[in-house]
């Protein structure tokens, strides 16, 4: 069962996963994600701490026409580099139903997925955001920690400073 609204239980630092644990943990995460989706709490990623397991593993499953179109397993993964920060609007989390926040995320991330041998890959767009979100869970970082609370609601001109506080003009940053 997915842990909801319990910050203390979700703020755990995870231990690395051994090769013999992977299959069972992936199956458990997929089962919980499928169950959540059947119950109408649709999600596309789930990390082990969200089901009470302090292990460095998460899954991302993007659906297309009712079937998984793209599947990524994050096992002992780390973000090596991130590029092109944006304000990602209305990010949600299965552990905090009904809550959405605007967050600062990279549009492109270079990840290392280390288990048996080093494996690196690039995630872009929504996949990059979800990977960052799930890896945050593995480090005890919650959606509320990433929430941008000072985003201006007034219209920002293209030559004004970006409200994300990057120091760039809006047209060269989040408005680009």
User: Which pLDDT score is estimated for 126?
Assistant: 93
In-domain check, residue 171: no
Across the range 13-38, mean pLDDT stands at 94
In-domain check, residue 140: yes
In-domain check, residue 49: yes
For tokens 């993964």, the residue is 77
Average pLDDT for the chain: 88
In-domain check, residue 174: no
In-domain check, residue 167: no
Across the range 109-120, mean pLDDT stands at 80
In-domain check, residue 79: yes
User: Which pLDDT score is estimated for 116?
Assistant: 61
Across the range 10-16, mean pLDDT stands at 93
In-domain check, residue 81: yes
CATH code of the domain covering residue 136: 3.90.45.10
pLDDT above 70 covers a percentage of the chain that reads 89
Across the range 15-20, mean pLDDT stands at 94
Annotated catalytic residue, options 32, 91, 101, 134 = 134
Model pTM greater than 0.85? no
Structural domain span for residue 59: 7-146
- Domain total of the chain: 1
pLDDT 10s digits, 149-165: 754 445 677 888 776 66
Higher pLDDT, 77 or 69: 77
Q: Distance (Å, rounded) from C-alpha 135 to C-alpha 130?
A: 8
Q: Cα-flanking dihedrals φ and ψ of residue 58, to 5°?
A: -150, 160
For tokens 């990057």, the residue is 166
Give the CA angle between residues 27, 127, 114 to the nearest 5°: 60
Across the range 18-33, mean pLDDT stands at 95
Judge whether 134 counts as a catalytic residue.
Answer: yes
pLDDT above 90 covers a percentage of the chain that reads 68
User: Which pLDDT score is estimated for 151?
Assistant: 46
pLDDT 10s digits, 81-105: 999 999 999 999 999 999 999 999 9
Query: Per-residue confidence at 119, pLDDT binned at 50, 70, 90?
Result: confident
In-domain check, residue 110: yes
């Amino acid at each position: 069962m997915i842990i909801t609204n319990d910050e203390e239980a979700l703020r755990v630092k995870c231990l690395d996963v051994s090769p013999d644990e992977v299959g069972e943990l992936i199956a458990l995460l997929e089962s919980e994600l499928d169950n959540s989706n059947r119950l109408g709490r649709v999600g596309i990623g789930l990390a082990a701490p969200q089901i009470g397991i302090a292990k460095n593993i998460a899954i991302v499953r993007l659906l297309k026409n009712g079937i998984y179109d793209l599947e990524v397993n994050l096992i002992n993964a780390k973000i090596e580099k991130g590029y092109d920060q944006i304000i990602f609007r209305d990010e949600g989390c299965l552990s905090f139903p009904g809550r959405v926040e605007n967050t600062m995320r990279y549009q492109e991330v270079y990840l290392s997925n280390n288990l048996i041998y080093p494996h690196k890959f690039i995630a872009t767009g929504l996949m990059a955001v979800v990977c960052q979100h799930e890896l945050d869970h593995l480090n005890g970082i919650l959606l509320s920690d990433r929430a941008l609370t000072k985003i201006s609601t007034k219209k920002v001109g293209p030559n004004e400073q970006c409200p994300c506080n990057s120091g760039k003009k809006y047209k060269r940053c989040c408005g680009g």
